[in-house]
Amino acid sequence: MEPDTSENSPATKKGPSNLVVRIAAAAVMVPMVLLIAWYGGLAFTAFVALLGVLMAFEWTRMAHKGDTVQLVLHALATLLAAFSIFLSTPQYVIFIIAAIWLVSVVLATDKSNFKWILLGVPYITLPVFALVWLRADAAFGAIAVFSVFAAVWSADSLAYFAGRGLGGPKLWPSVSPNKTWSGFFGAVAGGLLGAVLVFYITGQNNLGMAAVLGAAIGGLEQGGDLLESAAKRTFGIKDSGAIIPGHGGVLDRVDGLMVAVVFALIVGIWRSDFTNAAAGFVNW
């Protein structure tokens, strides 16, 4: 979960009282998420699966006007992605999810925003799959997940303070009017610091590569935020939901994390394979 303080968050629009609520909610959520991530195993998989189902609910309510069939398809794909870790032949899950994706696109009743309809299933399932498979590595899973969390959370926080403190040219005003280039570079710096801190605390010797990975995650975190902002603007909604006090929906809080963790999995697979993706990401 992201303890979001982004430049275009409701906190910047509703004043200090809402910011206090957001900080209080984050103070409860962040330790809980870290504890579950540290524990790993079925508990972490079930937690990620629950988040994925909530994301599926919010996405289908937004992009498919709450269509029940679409909710079932997206939720099923999400659960398959999460629990594929426990299957003896997880590679076949990819083909099943692809089939669900195709059915979802074909059955969409309103295809006027086709690119968003096409995005739906992979947008929800890939981050869920990435989180579970990264954490599954007994030796490096916790380090990889904590590194991504720290990079995303630090990026989000520094983007807020840099954007508010320095201002300047807008990053993409037609999508997110409050985001600035200063905030973007603050996110890059925050991601760098977050990843390096976790690598240092956990005794990894590759701090230079941690800085590169963290900076990339910081930039991608902003991209994930902009992607969800573009979707919400397209469908004319302010927040994806209201499940988290002061924060909005689950998608509102994990939009940057969703992109970042997929990037981490890709890097890990590139350097190793699915079962050792976390080692590939951490152990340079």
SS3 178: strand
**H or E element: which one contains 134?**
helix 114-135
Q: Which two tokens stand for residue 193?
A: 């610091």
* pLDDT confidence band for 16 (50 / 70 / 90): low
DSSP 213-236: HHHHHHHHHHHHHHHHHHHHHHHT
Q: Work out the average pLDDT over 168-175.
A: 87
Question: What is the pTM (predicted TM-score) of this model?
Answer: 0.89
* In contact, 279 and 140? CB cutoff 8 Å: yes
pLDDT higher at 53 or 12: 53
Does position 8 have pLDDT exceeding 60, yes or no?
no
Distance of alpha carbon 60 from alpha carbon 134, whole angstroms: 26
Residues 6+ apart with CB under 8 A from 260: 148, 151, 152, 217, 220, 221, 224
Type of residue found at 92: Y
Long-range contacts of 37-44 (CB under 8 A, 24+ apart): 37/135, 37/142, 37/145, 37/146, 37/149, 38/142, 38/146, 40/135, 40/136, 40/141, 40/142, 44/132, 44/135
Q: Which two tokens stand for residue 192?
A: 């760098």
Tell me the average pLDDT of the chain: 90
Q: Is 269 exposed, middle or buried (0-12, 13-18, 19+ CB in 10 A)?
A: middle
Does position 6 have pLDDT exceeding 60, yes or no?
no
* pLDDT confidence band for 10 (50 / 70 / 90): very low
Q: Which two tokens stand for residue 214?
A: 């963290």
Range with the poorest average pLDDT among 38-52, 94-108, 227-241: 227-241
